[in-house]
Amino acid sequence: MQENKGKIIIITAPSGSGKTSITHYLLNKYPGLCFSISATTRSPRGSEQHGVEYYFLSVEEFQSKINEHAFIEWEMVYEGKYYGTLKEELERIWNDGRVPVLDIDVKGAIHVQGEFPGKCLSIFIQPPSVEELKRRLESRGTETPESIATRVNKASYELSFNHHFHHIVVNEQLDKACAQTEDLIKEFLGW
């Protein structure tokens, strides 16, 4: 496991591609992987809790962390909503002898890859089509029509970045996409 210290797995995709389901599958199956909890200024959705899905911060708290250089990367992913990966979070996971899994947006993913060359495995989860992605977002039932429209517009743009990453996994069928992603990670970590 020691040889995997400092390694990072990045799962990136437009919102609604199924990357969170794939990430959950991996985390449940491999205790050596650990979800990297991002900080965000968006409000919790449904049953989300501080310190589980995200560290929910106020804009002021988030900005002071930016000033303290506490982030590996941060982005305003949606208008007025900040998201970022804390250096401390990655340290916590590495010190625990595990490998962090980052579920982050495309720009953040490109940034982290640049910061840790040779240490990252980046996987882009591609939805079969933008129409299918819209349908999935609608069926979640947690998004407003405005939020769906914002996410669909952003997704079309993000899809054009797929070639920046080590691998593209098309999520046509969730179980197949999970298995493909799992194989890539096992190979990267020598498991």
Residue numbers in the known binding site are 13-20
State both tokens at 166.
């080590």
Total residues interacting with ligand 5GP, rule: CB under 6 A = 13
CA-to-CA distance for 183 and 177, rounded, in angstroms?
10
Q: Rule CB under 6 A: is residue 77 a binding residue for ligand 5GP?
A: yes
Establish if 100 lies at the interface with ligand 5GP (CB under 6 A): no
Numbered residues of the known binding site for ATP: 13-20
Confirm or reject binding of residue 181 to ligand 5GP (CB under 6 A).
Answer: no
| Residue placing its CB nearer to ligand 5GP in the complex, 119 or 191 | 119
Task: Tell me which residue of 132, 186, 189 sits closest to 156, measured CA to CA.
Answer: 132
| Residue choice 18, 100, 108, 127 for contact with ligand 5GP (CB under 6 A) | 108
- Pick from 8, 10, 15, 90: which binds ligand 5GP (CB under 6 A)? 15
Strands annotated E in the chain: 8-12, 33-35, 38-40, 54-56, 71-78, 81-86, 99-104, 120-126, 167-170
- Determine if 75 is a binding residue for ligand 5GP (CB under 6 A): yes
Rounded Cα distance between 44 and 22, Å, is 21
Q: How far is the CB of 78 from ligand 5GP (least distance, A)?
A: 7
Residues at the contact surface with ligand 5GP, assessed by CB under 6 A = 15, 38, 42, 73, 75, 77, 83-85, 103-105, 108
